[in-house]
Structure 1
Amino acid sequence: MSGQKLSFFLLVSFLAAATTAQWIDSPADLFSSFHKSLSDLASKGVEDMLADEAAEVGVKDKSREELEKVDDDNKDESASQESAEDDDKSSVNPLLTSTDDFFSLFPNIFRVLQSPALKPWWQGDNVCKETEEKEEKGEDAHPFLIGKAHFSSCKYMPNKYECITEVRERGKPTKKTIVTYRCCHGYKVKPGTQSCQAAETKPIEELAKELGAEKFLDMVKQEEMLEAIKGAKTVFMPKDEAMDEFLNKEAVATNEIERSALDKKAIILNHIIPEIKETSDMQDNMVLKAEDGFGLRLSSYPGGVVTVNCIPINETDKETEDGVVHTVEGVLTPIKHDITEILSQEKFSKFRDLLKEHNLWDTLTGESAFTVFAVNNEGVDKLDPSSSMCLGTILRHHIVPITVCSKAAPASGKKISMADLGSSWLHMANKDDQLMLDDKAVIITRDIVAKNGVVHEVDQFVVPTSGQPASELMRRTKHTRFLDLLEKAGLRSEVDKRKDVTVFIPVEDSLNELEALEPEKLKEALLLHIVPHKLTSYDLRNNSTLETALNDAKLSVSASKNILSSLIGSQSPMTVQCIPLTRVDGRVCNGYAHEIKRPVQIATGTILDMIQNDESLATFREILQGTKLEEQLKAGLPKHITLLAPTDVAFKDLSDEKLEKLKTDKEFADKVLRDHVINDTLCCSGVGASSWPFISTVRTSSGKELETDRSKGRVMFGRFSVTSCDKITKDGIVHKIDGVLLPPERHPQREIIFKRPNSEIILAGFK
């Protein structure tokens, strides 16, 4: 034995003896125990012990699926691995896998007081295993995958353990293997245990009596179908009260089929699933196929409510000798019609015509599940004619792309909310012994179950906020002054009746100037706030222009995303004509409304026009004359720029020599002026706070980086403040600043080693 091995075994033996010291009466006994351990090790070589362990490993059961090893801690686990090799190349030398068993020769030194891990129940006795393999095809499957990838995930439930393995390969269908372990029939994992133990099962006749479902069993016996409900099957068994109600009705309300037309044998078969389905196997919107071939749709709702064809399930997972029974609160009659066939009834004729007119009829065909709150003919007649422009949105509000039964609404009166086809919220609740929709419409007939969903009859339309005109939105949000101005200018119908519209609504306390305008000028100003397109805030792109209802007038959008500002909680707002949007995405039936901080003003003139007419920019105007930048501005290039224009006061801080050079040396002047041009539209509101080391910069026309900051309410470019913001022109934006951005002068024998916003820390050099 080598010196390293001997040292290792001496250490392990010493620790092993030390862990048992508390059971040894004297130090002499401790030494004796330690001496014995050394003697045993000396008499047996490492190779012999490994050989013994290998022989022991060889007789162990190695047939257990690798999936069983994934979840030894009774938790959901996910694992993924990618390999270009096949699965069958992963055999392992047993001698290399026996390390843990080798160390089990010695006492558990570091976990003396820990109990051994319990064996998961799915690795024990009385466990049945089911394997399902299937392929999922898709166009151009996994185009970026190299080789073969394996993805495994396991899901733990009280009486079921399921592992799904997907094998993905480029250009080939995904192969999915589902392995399910569950206690065999007649066994359950009882609380506080980790094994499948025998559970009580009863003959179905005895179980029916115990569950209060004898009358259904009587009908089964009368039809001589007792054997049909026995075996490895699932039976939804109606309670006696449900059978009494069913048998006493003159007609079955579910699909308005006369009882005489119903075959009792067909009804019985509609309660039988030809396989065992426990609650752990059930999923929301799952459709089970009954013995008669018709579907049974399962739905689950908050509060633990589970329904089958909108009939609540009561007691579950009651095992018979061969199958399982669930009790239900009603009789499951065969569902033979889809939603469009139900809506073909005369009482829904007007509602049906509206669906077809707005291209929604075909949506309700096919296998996808829907809930339709169908307005009867009397309810359609109640609709306000002013809502005709929004009828498409209103109709979509009455269609929900999931199955929502009446039992989803709690008896306590709490609302259950659902999203309609237009993503607006719809609420259903029990109120004063009635089932109400949005506290407005009464659901007259509930749960008309279809093959592809359910229909509820309601007595009137429910108009969502997204189905109301823009004028109604303004009224509800207290923008009444702007609404009055639209009325005064005769533009209310322009907003409400346009097919597509986006309205920018100024806040109420900013309208004084608009209210003072003459009617014709007021109309022009208001038309600037109307865009003939549906635009959400996500559609407003940086540097984009928006057409308005005023001839060729356009609005400029600034939607820059300042990541550094957002890190310190100062994100730049979105703007239109440099006016910040304060609230966005108010939905109206024909578009959207956005609130802005003040009214929009039309851009008049160019940047050169603005410089020419502003007396505070006389010096800047003189320096600009004769430069290449002036020629480009006259030609309308570059577009969408921001000009930082120093005022006359700013130039007074320069030396006479420097000022004279700017006025006479046009090449030098052009170079300096380009440091004042940003090749982008940047409003003052788009400049956020900057904190070292997160420094915000913009690139000037000369290619230099210019620092920006917002400090104590002032907008800063470099070391200088903006004295006048957001002068909007047709070709850009002008900000006046209180300093001139000159190139830095070199300091002899000095070196800049470190920069912070608007400052420099300089280390002086020494000779």
Structure 2
Amino acid sequence: MDVIDWARFRFREEDEYWRRRGGEELEEEKARRGTGGRVRCNVKNELENELEESRTSNEVYPVLRAPIEERSMVMAHGSEGVMYASDLRDEQGKARTINLLKEFLMLERTEEDALFVEDDVEVLMRDVMGTNGVLHVVDKPLMPSAAKNLVDVLKSHNLTRFLEMLETAEMLSEMTGLKDVTVFAPSNKAIETLPEDVLEDLMNNKEKLRDLLNYHITTSSLQASDITNNHIADTRAELPLRVNLYSRSPLLAGLMRESNNRHVRLTAACSRISILDSRACGAVVHVVERVLAPPKASVMEHLESDEDFSIFTKMLHDTGLNETLVEEGPFTVLAPSDHIFHALPEVELQEVRNNVELQDRLVKQHIIKEHVCCAGINPNTWLFMDHKRPLDGSPVHLRRTTSGRIMAGPARITHCSPPSRNGLVHTVNHLMLDVNPNRRVDRNRTPIFSAPGLEIIFG
């Protein structure tokens, strides 16, 4: 017999017991809870108590009566493939599998040869063979993550540093009660890479820490399948959070968003999302690789506040493009620092300073009207090459080299900035336009084929 037939045969006495009591009591219980059989967030402890009460001395399988969504509950207990107790062979006696909800389950064998799933669920009967798989009997149900509270899901990902920050900010109790939110939780490594003085200042300033943490929590539930490029989410910090979708195959962008698809990369505030769609009750958790910095200035304000960009900033004012960079955007500015201009031969530097038309062409070549995070720039292939159009229309080829360098046309991006309110400012080590008056600049190259993010150039 298969595993389902075996379970029915083994527990037919319990089935008969509940059938004799009739379905009226179950319906009354559902009506009392007001759930209609759906998952309720605070049901876990209540469920476990009922299961304990429903067991008799000869029962080894708990009878489910609580209002858990049946499909999710069943899928939390099943996995594709077969795993035997004897598979736990490593030195620590541990193994990991994935259930039908695509959630990890950790199995552990103790020194006393007891077998546990997810720390506290004991396997009472193991390796029952069926014609289509193997069955293990456990002493209580495995709760799907969608039935766990938010803090439990964060703990399941071992996000100890983020939880420590929440505790310091006195936000742990708030987190357990949040509904319809998305948490972009920084990994432990992301928090540990913060400068020591910055982290210390945050941990000693509760209000500042709360503002930072609230920027990681949006006021709506956002799964990977909901994300389109340049999605703007409202946060509890009352600041917008921009989520981007990047594809290594631009023609397929937007068609493939599954978390395990290697062609797609998702970012939040330009931080790569490494783990997607961990469901909690009333919430979604995504793990990010960097602490998200709330934007405080526009792209133009960013440039004006940095003395290293004084020449480029003056050109923006002289050409009137400074007014463009305070608009909604988004913009990505490939900003050359002053020493790039000072490294030019004197004749070229004077040509740039005295020729307003050349300044206009040069500055426009450094401004892309897209939100281009460094984390979204991928190695190119012979078929898919990522070209972006600056304001003057000439394509800029963006790519990541095999050594990890990020290139924009002839320039290397030497510093990737955190997001501003309306875009990004990346520092480059080369001008994007040849300013030598003695060399002809061919501005007539046009793409013979163009698609979003993809251009084939002739000439």
Whether TM exceeds 0.5 here: the answer is yes
Task: Look up the match of 1:369.
Answer: none
Unaligned runs of 5+ in 1: 1-299, 313-331, 362-373, 383-390, 428-435, 444-457, 754-762
Contact 1:514 1:522 in 2 (8 A): no
Shift of 1:541: 2.4
User: Quick one: structure 1 residues 662 and 381, their matched pair in 2 at CA, closer, same or farther if it must change by over 3 Å?
Assistant: farther
Task: Look up the match of 2:164.
Answer: 484
User: Quick one: structure 1 residues 525 and 539, their matched pair in 2 at CA, closer, same or farther if it must change by over 3 Å?
Assistant: same
User: Quick one: structure 1 residues 392 and 479, their matched pair in 2 at CA, closer, same or farther if it must change by over 3 Å?
Assistant: farther
Asked if 1:673 corresponds to 2:363, the answer is yes
Asked if 1:494 corresponds to 2:174, the answer is yes
Task: Look up the match of 1:595.
Answer: 287
Q: Within 1, Cα distance between the matches of 2:159 and 2:6?
A: 48
Task: Look up the match of 1:358.
Answer: 35
Shift of 1:729: 0.9
Q: Within 1, Cα distance between the matches of 2:347 and 2:221?
A: 57
Shift of 1:725: 0.7
Q: Within 1, Cα distance between the matches of 2:378 and 2:275?
A: 19
The TM-score with structure 2 as length reference comes to 0.67
Aligned runs of 1:408-427 on 2, under 5 Å? none
Shift of 1:413: 10
Contact 2:358 2:435 in 1 (8 A): no
User: Quick one: structure 1 residues 626 and 467, their matched pair in 2 at CA, closer, same or farther if it must change by over 3 Å?
Assistant: same
User: Quick one: structure 1 residues 655 and 469, their matched pair in 2 at CA, closer, same or farther if it must change by over 3 Å?
Assistant: same
Partner residue of 2:411 out of 715, 720, 739: 720
Amino acid at match of 2:288: I
Amino acid at match of 1:502: T
Shift of 1:530: 1.2
Task: Look up the match of 1:503.
Answer: 183
Task: Look up the match of 2:241.
Answer: 555
Shift of 1:423: 7.6
Shift of 1:742: 1.1
Q: Deviations over 1:333-366 (max 9, x none)?
A: xxxx9x99966265x578x3378621228xxxxx
Q: Within 2, Cα distance between the matches of 1:412 and 1:689?
A: 43
Shift of 1:658: 3.3
Aligned runs of 1:166-181 on 2, under 5 Å? none
Q: Within 2, Cα distance between the matches of 1:629 and 1:703?
A: 15
Q: Within 2, Cα distance between the matches of 1:614 and 1:629?
A: 17
Tell me, what secondary structure is at the counterpart of 2:182?
strand
User: Quick one: structure 1 residues 341 and 678, their matched pair in 2 at CA, closer, same or farther if it must change by over 3 Å?
Assistant: farther
Task: Look up the match of 1:344.
Answer: 23
Amino acid at match of 1:344: G
Amino acid at match of 1:683: C
Task: Look up the match of 1:543.
Answer: 230
Aligned runs of 1:628-667 on 2, under 5 Å? 628-634=320-326, 636=327, 639-667=329-357
Q: Deviations over 1:146-190 (max 9, x none)?
A: xxxxxxxxxxxxxxxxxxxxxxxxxxxxxxxxxxxxxxxxxxxxx
User: Quick one: structure 1 residues 401 and 713, their matched pair in 2 at CA, closer, same or farther if it must change by over 3 Å?
Assistant: closer
Contact 1:585 1:593 in 2 (8 A): yes
Aligned runs of 1:460-479 on 2, under 5 Å? 462-479=142-159
Asked if 1:605 corresponds to 2:288, the answer is no
Task: Look up the match of 2:379.
Answer: 689
Shift of 1:395: 6.6
Q: Within 2, Cα distance between the matches of 1:688 and 1:729?
A: 22
Tell me, what secondary structure is at the counterpart of 1:516?
helix
Aligned runs of 1:226-375 on 2, under 5 Å? 301=2, 310=8, 344=23, 346=25, 352-353=29-30, 357-360=34-37
Q: Within 2, Cα distance between the matches of 1:661 and 1:411?
A: 76
Amino acid at match of 2:360: D
Task: Look up the match of 2:449.
Answer: none
The TM-score with structure 1 as length reference comes to 0.42
User: Quick one: structure 1 residues 571 and 659, their matched pair in 2 at CA, closer, same or farther if it must change by over 3 Å?
Assistant: farther
Contact 1:394 1:462 in 2 (8 A): no
Aligned Cα RMSD in Å?
4.9
Task: Look up the match of 1:520.
Answer: 207
Task: Look up the match of 2:269.
Answer: 577
Tell me, what secondary structure is at the counterpart of 2:287?
strand
Task: Look up the match of 2:390.
Answer: 700
User: Quick one: structure 1 residues 616 and 437, their matched pair in 2 at CA, closer, same or farther if it must change by over 3 Å?
Assistant: closer
Q: Within 2, Cα distance between the matches of 1:529 and 1:507?
A: 12
Unaligned runs of 5+ in 2: 39-46, 56-65, 88-96, 107-115, 125-137, 253-260, 446-458
Contact 1:675 1:701 in 2 (8 A): yes
Amino acid at match of 1:553: L
Partner residue of 1:532 out of 219, 228, 239: 219
Shift of 1:682: 0.4
Tell me, what secondary structure is at the counterpart of 1:682?
coil
Shift of 1:613: 0.8
Task: Look up the match of 1:329.
Answer: none
Tell me, what secondary structure is at the counterpart of 1:668?
helix
Tell me, what secondary structure is at the counterpart of 2:163?
helix
Tell me, what secondary structure is at the counterpart of 2:380?
coil
Tell me, what secondary structure is at the counterpart of 2:424?
strand
Q: Deviations over 1:220-244 (max 9, x none)?
A: xxxxxxxxxxxxxxxxxxxxxxxxx
Tell me, what secondary structure is at the counterpart of 1:573?
strand
Count of aligned residue pairs for this structure pair? 379
Asked if 1:618 corresponds to 2:304, the answer is no
Shift of 1:671: 2.0
Contact 1:379 1:461 in 2 (8 A): no
Shift of 1:437: 10
Q: Within 2, Cα distance between the matches of 1:393 and 1:423?
A: 18
Question: Identity percentage over the alignment?
Answer: 24
Q: Deviations over 1:517-566 (max 9, x none)?
A: 2111111111111122222233232111111111x211111212121799
Shift of 1:485: 1.4
Q: Within 2, Cα distance between the matches of 1:471 and 1:412?
A: 30
Contact 1:644 1:734 in 2 (8 A): yes
Contact 2:325 2:331 in 1 (8 A): no
Shift of 1:630: 2.1
